[in-house]
Chains A and B, each alone.
Chain A
Amino acid sequence: MNDAERPISPPKSQLAYWIFQLTGWGLYSLSRFFGGVTVMNLPWVHFGLQLLFVDSLAFGLSHLLRNYVRRHQWHALRIRNLAWRILVASFVCGIPLGILTQFTDVALLQDPNEFLEGMSSALRFQLALPVAIALEIVNWSVVYLIWLTIYFTAIAVREYRSAQLKQSELARALHLAELRLLKSQLNPHFLFNALNTVRSLIADNPARAQDAVTRLAKTLRYTLTSPQDELVTLSQELDIVADYLELESMRFEDRLRIEIHVPDDAAGVRIPVMLLQTLVENAIKHGIAQLPSGGLLRVSATVQNEILVLDVENPRPPAPVRTAQEGVGLQNAHDRLRLLFGARASLELDLSHPSVTTARLRIPVNP
């Protein structure tokens, strides 16, 4: 991976870098300047200029260091490999600056005599310079160690944030894809059986066959184009459910009886598209189709306390035939509700009646 593929520093973080860089170095220099002038009574112009010179070089070196670590992709290293590189780099930067500092007044800030106490004066004279240089090198190495630590901490934080952002974007995309998938399930079993019914009706009852084709076209259009809308009114959904039920009753003939009760106040409530359709399909598949003599499919709606309660009832077969696919439709419906309304909507199967299964949907009137 190279920088062209992976912009590790967008303009915003470029600006942040310079602000941090200037503030950090500025504060460091200022503190040493005031330390030198006030505590050690150094001549401020002379000392100040030398300090400015040394610290500008240090500042420049840190920028070169930053370009170097970016070019060599240190941010992608594992923490252990990064750690020893940071230590070495700090020391490598510390050496030239340490030596340079020793030849300026800035060196006065450091007193090597503290380390040489108790030695003979000859020895002290001999060791004074090397110890002073060593101290300056250690000093600068520590400064660069801190600098690099801050730099890579900032990078790590930024990468963590962008990973989180990507994660949430991904979650949102997934959520949308999930909704689309859960909704647009054209039931091929229904489709082919309907086509077979139409074929039979063409000979038995041509007018009915024409009606069936129109209804089938409407049902297909609704199923195939509905992914554009998330919510539709109950009455819009009922239109399509009615077409679907009409087709199914051509197929099942007198085995399927239908009752629909939807008062006006419920008809305008917005519900997830294809949801009632799914419940009705389930009622037929697991109820009516399993019973040799069929039964009554009932759809009824009421609005109670700003909640739409939608019941889909079907007769329950005595020993339900268990299949692997059973419950997939309901599970999907459940998932969609959760994605669209959170905890405020619910879908439950009421099995309290011995021979009737009721799928009960609760949706807030004002989502």
Chain B
Amino acid sequence: MPKIIVNVMLKDEILDPQGAAVAAAMARLGFDFAKSVRQGKRFEITCQEKPTQADLESARSAASGLLANLVIEDFTITVEE
């Protein structure tokens, strides 16, 4: 079934201590390619049918009112068939 994917990330200017801890662990484990890590959230919303434009607008208002706090976070919305 199709899914609406909402990815939520802390804004760039907000300190992400969890991401920093992951980056430190990667460095300890020898994953030298990693310069820094930011950690976010992914929401998979399964839909009955292929989401319409109106569904995507609703998803956008759910993301801005509930899934993300726009004071500290940004989000993106995509659809997976």
Q: Do A and B form a real pair?
A: no
A-side interface residues toward B, CB under 8 Å?
Answer: none
